[in-house]
Amino acid sequence: MFLAKGAEATIELIDGMVIKNRIPKSYRLKALDQIIRKQRTKMEARIISESRRRGVPTPIIFDIENCRITMEYINGPKIKDILTPGLSNNIGTVVGRLHLKGIIHGDLTTSNMILYDDRIYLIDFGLAFFERSVEARGVDVHVLFRTFESTHDGYEILIENFKKGYRRIFPDAEAVLERVDEIKGRGRYA
């Protein structure tokens, strides 16, 4: 069953597993495109697995082959459809744990979070990378706050509850949250 198609990949559910296939880019040389897609696929699978080892709920990776990842299907609602202030607090702890381990998600939106068994799972690590800078963490959180503002009512309380959860887990939370304000003020992300 077809689940989604994005700019970088198609997502299908086959035999109870999610299959993510990176799409070839016709504007690149074929050999170069193959190398890039393989590298990005490996990196994504590595970051998903590393996040899970570090206590962040993510799908289990079953296989990586060429430009395809086969992983566990997390059967639950997307957070974008059920977000509450309490869930926002939990998102703060999950993101805090991710950042504590030097992982930047790169696309922190409520569409890339699933609630299953009372846990928030992060999915779609296609833009993820390893980084410990305040700037990278700030951009990650800024993207999430923009999602709160653009798609969820009562976003102010969602942001405040996120901050509570984030501060509880991540020792450098204040520096990151100050950077979020600075990034917002720059206007380049508007």
Q: Which helix (H) or strand (E) holds 69?
A: strand 68-72
Q: Which two tokens stand for residue 56?
A: 């962040």
Catalytic residue among 15, 33, 81, 107: 107
Amino acid at 88: S
Distance CA 140, CA 147 (A): 11
Per residue in 31-72, pLDDT tens?
Answer: 898 899 999 999 999 999 999 999 999 999 999 998 999 999
Reply yes or no on whether 81 is catalytic.
no
Domains and CATH numbers, the chain: 2-72 (3.30.200.20), 79-186 (1.10.510.10)
**CA–CA–CA angle 46, 12, 140 (5° rounding):** 45
pLDDT digit string, tens, across residues 64-110: 998 999 999 999 999 999 999 999 999 999 999 999 999 999 999 99
